[in-house]
Amino acid sequence: MEQSVQFLLRLLGGAVMGTLAEASVARHGATRPDCPRCGRTMRLVEQRRGREMRGLVGDFVYGRPYYQCRACGGGLAPDDERLGVGSVGYTPALSRVAAMTVTEVPFERAARNLSETLGTTFAEAEIYRVVEALGVVAEAEIQVDMAIPEANPATPTGDTLLIGVDGTTSFIDGDWHEVKVGVVGMLGPELQHDAETGRDLLKVSDPRYCAAVATEAGEFFPRVALLARQAGFGHPELRRVVCLGDGGRWIWNRMSVFRQDGVEHIEILDYMHASEHVWQVADAFFGEGTLDAHAWVGPVLQDLLKQGPTPLMDALGKLRPRSARQKRELQNAKDYFTANRDRMRYPNFVAQQLPVGSGVVEATCRTLVCQRTKGAGMRWTRAGAQAILNLRCLHLSHPDRWRSFFARHPLRRTPRLAELRQPQTQAA
């Protein structure tokens, strides 16, 4: 019974939406626009050209004046933009729901979820087009914001900023992609109990995320810097910046941009990544996963957390390599830990209730990028993967960021972007 009612309500909803859209078109009257491409005045070719839309409450068609440019042949319906509609055939409300669904599950399941919930059929490829277009708009916003480094920093909601960066690889539609991930949030003063270690740590609040596919560090860090500025980096009320990352040189070389006069700068080597390197040595010297390896690693890692890097360096110094592999692993580890020595003052960090394991960053990597996404006949381009990542980042960040993105009517900007991306088909 309820499904029949839903079916009827969609018919009714579509009719209401179509009527409202046309009423809005009629109210605003028609003025001849200038061609967005070549600037000439366009001519009216149809008074009520129908536009098919799929919506959250029903599908509908609305008629609106359609103009064409005599010079370049481009067509335009100015009412679409005013109504918040772009080049894709979904209403703003439906596209927002589709986008959120896709940030949670792969496209194929998103299509099934939407179809099941709304009682009609939505095609995977259709959803892909809509969501990719939104993600491309999000990317354009990021690019614009990154290009204005002088913008005033936001007022921070606390006095300590946490900046975490990590790299991972993601399996997206049959290919491995390198993905860099950044998280920026306020640290404390509220505390959070960490059940695993039994310690109370400063709580991370208002986290913001960014991620980039196959990007050089030099292109990636401006994204992190943008998030940091939006969270209050550069504002005089900020007292402390805590940087958390693995030992990768690409990270620490760049983290220095978050140094500022009068602001305490703390760099922490993610304890999990440090452990991985200790394990690599143990595997080389005592055999992979053997009891001997465990026996060596256990106390070394405990001491690292309780006493800092010195016992670890001593333990490495006592190892005597008997093969080329052991010699190489030992040297790598010594180099790595020497370079990161100051970032391993764990007892000091723990005393300040700072996070030493990038649980925050790791979780981000998992949620953001490690989700397998597949779709029949869909090929992920770098731009496409980036578009989806942008929406995932918006969704995982504070709900205000998701809401404000859609309050800026992103679909309105999709026709122009679609035009920009189109290869030129006509000689000018």
Q: Work out how close the CB of 35 gets to Zn ion at its nearest, in angstroms, rounded to a whole number.
A: 3
For strands 60-68 and 75-76, give the pairing.
antiparallel
The Cα–Cα gap between 366 and 86 comes to: 32
- The residue (of 34 and 104) whose beta carbon lies closer to Zn ion is 34
Q: Work out how close the CB of 36 gets to Zn ion at its nearest, in angstroms, rounded to a whole number.
A: 8
On the CB side of 251, CA atoms within 13 Å amount to 22
Question: What is the footprint of Zn ion within residues 28-47 (CB under 5 A)?
Answer: 35, 37-38
- The residue (of 35 and 97) whose beta carbon lies closer to Zn ion is 35
72 is a site residue for Zn ion (CB under 5 A)? yes
Q: Work out how close the CB of 33 gets to Zn ion at its nearest, in angstroms, rounded to a whole number.
A: 10
Q: Which stretch binds Zn ion (CB under 5 A): 64-72, 134-142, 213-221, 321-329?
A: 64-72
Q: How big is the site for Zn ion, counted in residues (CB under 5 A)?
A: 7
Q: Which residues contact 249 (CB under 8 A, 6 or more apart)?
A: 339
Closest CA to 256 of 198, 217, 283, 289: 217
Structure tokens that stand for 263 in this block: 């602001």
- The residue (of 200 and 419) whose beta carbon lies closer to Zn ion is 419
Q: Work out how close the CB of 71 gets to Zn ion at its nearest, in angstroms, rounded to a whole number.
A: 5
Q: Work out how close the CB of 362 gets to Zn ion at its nearest, in angstroms, rounded to a whole number.
A: 51
- The residue (of 195 and 428) whose beta carbon lies closer to Zn ion is 428
Q: Work out how close the CB of 76 gets to Zn ion at its nearest, in angstroms, rounded to a whole number.
A: 9
Question: What is the footprint of Zn ion within residues 249-308 (CB under 5 A)?
Answer: none
Structure tokens that stand for 111 in this block: 């299509």
Q: Are 268 and 247 in contact (CB under 8 A)?
A: no
Q: Work out how close the CB of 37 gets to Zn ion at its nearest, in angstroms, rounded to a whole number.
A: 5
Q: Work out how close the CB of 417 gets to Zn ion at its nearest, in angstroms, rounded to a whole number.
A: 18
Q: Which stretch binds Zn ion (CB under 5 A): 65-73, 110-118, 218-226, 251-259?
A: 65-73
Q: Which of 30, 57, 71, 100 binds Zn ion (CB under 5 A)?
A: 71
Strand order in the sheet with 175-194: 199-213, 175-194, 160-172, 240-245, 264-269
Cis amide prior to 222 (ω within 30 degrees): no
- The residue (of 69 and 385) whose beta carbon lies closer to Zn ion is 69
Annotate 188-228 with DSSP letters as a single string: EEEEEEETTTTEEEEEEEEEEEEEEES--HHHHHHHHHHHH
- Angstrom CA distances, 208 to 158, 196, 280, 401, stand at 15, 24, 33, 9
Q: Which of 25, 69, 161, 269 binds Zn ion (CB under 5 A)?
A: 69
- The residue (of 39 and 287) whose beta carbon lies closer to Zn ion is 39
Residue 43 phi/psi, 5-degree rounding, is -110, 150
Measured from the Cβ of residue 155, the count of other Cβ atoms closer than 10 Å reads 11
Residue 176's DSSP bridge partners are: 171
- The residue (of 74 and 375) whose beta carbon lies closer to Zn ion is 74
Q: Which residues bind Zn ion (CB under 5 A)?
A: 35, 37-38, 69, 71-72, 74
